[in-house]
Amino acid sequence: MIKKAVTPTMTTIKTLDFPARFNRPRLRYKATIGIGGNIGNVIRRFERLKHYLDMDRNVELMATGSILKNPPFGFADQDDFYNSVMQISTNLTSEKLLQHLLRIEKKFGRKRSFKNAPRTLDIDLLFYENETKLSKNLILPHPHWQERESVLLPLMDLGAVA
């Protein structure tokens, strides 16, 4: 594991699987997800999530970004967060993929107690193809992604941000 301070409050962390490239897409649609958490051993949980997705027939993991340790926002009285991004391919529609990701969050112990609460694993659908969507359950691209260093810095590893 390699840690590097980016600012006084943010650190990038590189592991064997973060950042990394794995596969060329074989499934129909390409999506980018953001992952985060601040309860327990989050880096280990990210590694477990990577292995879980490797076995998931609904998605194919293509790449990961580095992990960023950063302060919380919204509800600030909690531990720092770890965040990263993953690029995947899938045959699921954006709505079905969101439902699938929410089920994975639950498998990894996610509990929704209040907005911006501490969490074991948060998975956000950031981008799905070039789709723009505004529905009750899904907004694409994810709102405010371009304002969050916790998304922007890991995205740079994917070559998604210039």
Q: Domain 2-156 is classified in which CATH homologous superfamily?
A: 7,8-Dihydro-6-hydroxymethylpterin-pyrophosphokinase HPPK (3.30.70.560)
Classify 124 as helix, strand or coil: strand
Domain boundaries in the chain?
2-156
pLDDT in tens, the chain (162 residues): 999 999 999 999 999 999 999 878 888 999 999 999 999 999 999 999 999 999 999 999 999 999 999 998 777 788 999 999 999 999 999 999 999 999 999 998 888 777 777 889 999 999 999 999 999 999 999 998 999 999 999 999 987 543
User: What is the model's pTM?
Assistant: 0.91
Classify 86 as helix, strand or coil: strand
Q: For residue 32, what are its two tokens?
A: 């980018």
Q: How many other CB atoms are found less than 10 A from the CB of residue 37?
A: 26
Nearest residue to 99 (alpha-carbon basis) of 133, 66, 63, 137: 137
